[in-house]
Structure 1
Amino acid sequence: MEGRRYPVSTRTSPRSYVLHAMFGRTLTIATTALLAVGLTAGVAAASPSRVRLLGEQIVPLNLAFQGTTVGGLSSIDRDPRTGQYVLISDDRSAINPARFYTAKIDVDAAGIHSVDFTGTHPFLRPDGKTYPPIKEWTATPCAASREVCDRDGTVDPEELRVDPWTGNITWSQEGERILTPPTALLDPSIRQVRPDGSYVGQYPLPANERMTTDNVGPRQNQTLEGITYAAAGTLLVSELEDPLLQDGPNPTATAGALTRITVQSRFGPVLAQYAYPIDPLFAASPNANDTNGVSSMVAYDPFDPTRYLMVERAFVTGVGNKVRVYEIDTKGATNIKDVASIAGKKIKPVSKKLLVDLDTLGLPKVDNIEGITWGLTLPDGERTLLLVSDNNFSAAQVTQVIALAVR
């Protein structure tokens, strides 16, 4: 999500599913069976004491790299094939074409020592072109045609993951919902590109995640923030940052909210949706637009279909940010895939337990954290966990790469 502004830091420091045709059908049944088996698995205890800070690195503001401006980093993932990390920029082609980066990040038991960018590629459309800026998109006839815009329109990049089977980049974008004339609707989407940015395909999404002019569907700029592969790559799991319009209001200082997690086969079919309980806003705010939402997710274990880490990112005007990471389990939660609205319904959401509140780690500042991924395992068995913040290309914010160790 972009557009929020934060206090100044004082530190120096296509409708048709082409992926199905590409991968084949052989594991669709196995995937469904694995999901069902996973629903009987137990959940491990989680405690904030399991986590310690290794350190952080600050990426310089407006760093120039290979003809682009580095900023708006909204996601991070580690590519096991290269040992490098991939990061997405949420630049909607306003500064440079929508793109992702590769980087070497030096992390060990003594800390995080460097972040060195090694490459960048624009996301390409099926026709091989880059995505246009939002102003150009809304000014063309494309804005009046849902089918054309969904396929070839602009994008609002948010999260990316390396496909564990192919090494391709799977990425999500939030779409657009402009109701003031001229009306412009762009559905969110999950797409896949090769490591060079060339287009591979697009996943089908649930009908309730399509933009509408009615009071149903996703809110503007609060849609697909997080995606992850799970169950040995047989599942693709995604989450909405905040509730669908028909599922209730956003979190406030006095009440939390329920958003949706979607589980689908890597070949396309949606298998389940679960309600995720978002915490209330951590303090009262004078700004009605301030809220709490889920900004990223990652599978807790690459083979487990039920457990995930969720990043809740909140901002209160005049106070700042609050970022917490929760361990969740979908086991036993109500499948709400076919429930049009969960507002007022008796359903069981996923279970959640705090892993870490970043305010407890001793960081000089916690900024707009939007990405999370596992890194290497340390010699003592601790797993490294990396987070990245989106600075919105603003001098009032920072791009911080944080490294944690998790027992």
Structure 2
Amino acid sequence: MAIALLSFVTTACAPSQARTAEQRTFLNLSLDFIGEYQLPKMKYKDTPVGGLSALAYDRKRNKFYTLSDDRSQFAPARFYTLGLSLKRSDKGEIGLEKVDIEDVTFITDENGKTYAKGSLDPEGIALSPKDTVFISSEGIPSQGIAPFIREFDLKTGQHKQDLLIPDRYLPNNSTKEEQPPRGIQDNLGFESLTLEPGSLGAASGDPFRLFTATESALFQDRPHE
């Protein structure tokens, strides 16, 4: 399992300068690969560390949170807290020296119980300014399990709220001609999750935007066979 470190550079105009629609849409951004760290095969507090599908940075605490995509098969659904150590070479270049797993947090449902085996497919994680994390699940449409985006307490993993998912993303598992299959496809749902840039600097009660995307077309949007 590898964790890569990238540096992010953006060139922005001063607020007083007018920008064209093209400049606002196509920002001058770049990424530089700095290095990677290979996590050894290991267990942490009786959980196998692996399948790390998403990463969120906590600037206030200088920690990272990474989500396991384990469907509660090998251990209850969870995310880990990571500490990263950086090093500077003789040439002054910054690299990734070590990644330490510092904690594991099990997420719970609205009844305060950890998720049952095979009841979700966690993929995306985003840290909010409310000291909570949002987590997306692709669901398992073939088993009638809908995708979700839910908010959890950062420290305890306790369920806080569900975000409303439009019906067009939800499976109906119908084979009737008048109700063709609808919603996300298996393992092609809400893979990503992120907050609008600048949202983490907002006050805890201020609104913010959350973004996700599906990996592929919905059932109803596929080309007709």
TM-score bracket for this pair, using the shorter chain length? 0.7 to 0.9
Structure 1 residue 231, shift from structure 2 partner? 5.4
2:56 to 64, 77, 81: 77
- Over aligned residues, Cα RMSD in angstroms? 2.3
Q: CA offsets, 1:64-114, max 9 Å, x none? A: 111211001000010122110000000011100010000101236421111
Could you list the runs of 5+ residues in structure 1 that have no partner in the other structure?
1-8, 12-38, 135-153, 179-183, 250-342, 344-407
The question of whether the paired residues in 2 share the 8 Å contact of 1:99 and 1:122 is answered with: yes
Q: Which residue pairs with 1:137 in the alignment? A: none
Q: TM-score, normalised by structure 1?
A: 0.43
* SS of structure 1 residue aligned to 2:72: coil
Opposite residue 157 of structure 1, the aligned amino acid is P
Cα offset, 1:155, TM superposition: 1.2
Return 50-59 or 189-198, whichever deviates more.
50-59
Work out the CA distance in 2 between the residues paired with 1:115 and 1:42: 35
Runs of 4 or more, structure 1, over 6 Å off, are none
In structure 1, C-alpha distance between the alignment counterparts of 2:31 and 2:213, rounded to whole Å = 24
Residue 45 of structure 1 deviates from its aligned partner by: 3.9
Matches of 1:174 and 1:100, distance apart in 2: 16
CA distance in 2 between counterparts of 1:200 and 1:80 reads 22
Where 2:210 maps in the other structure, the secondary structure is strand
Going from structure 1 to structure 2, the CA distance change for 1:74 and 1:42 (only over 3 Å counts) comes to: closer
Amino acid of the structure 2 residue aligned with 1:44 = L
1:171 paired with 2:155, answer no
Q: Is the 8 A contact 2:83 2:102 kept in 1?
A: yes
Letter in 1 for 2:96: I
Distance 2:210 2:125 in 1: 12
Distance (whole Å) between structure 2 residues aligned to residue 84 and residue 201 of structure 1? 24
Give the partner amino acid of 1:230: E
Aligned residue identity for 2:210:
L
Report what 1:239 is aligned to. 213
Give the match for residue 170 of structure 2.
Answer: 210
The 5 A counterparts of 1:19-168 are 40=21, 41-45=24-28, 50-61=30-41, 63-107=42-86, 109-134=93-118, 154-163=119-128, 165-168=129-132
Which stretch shifts more, 213-222 or 97-106?
213-222
In 2, are the aligned partners of 1:79 and 1:167 still within 8 Å (CA)? no
* Cα distance in structure 1, aligned partners of 2:197 and 2:32: 27
- Give the Cα separation in 2 of the matches to 1:245 and 1:45: 36
- What SS class does the counterpart of residue 110 from structure 2 fall into? coil
Give the share of equivalent positions with the same residue, in percent: 26
In structure 2, distance between residues paired with 1:170 and 1:75: 11
What secondary structure sits across from 1:246 in the alignment? helix
2:208 aligned with 1:248, yes or no? Answer: no
- Paired residues in the alignment total 186
Name the amino acid aligned to 1:190: I
Alignment of 1:221 onto 2:221: no
TM-score, structure 2 length as denominator? Answer: 0.76
Higher relative contact order, structure no. (Cα contacts within 8 Å, ≥ 6 residues apart): 1
| Aligned counterparts, 1:179-194, within 5 A | 184-194=143-153
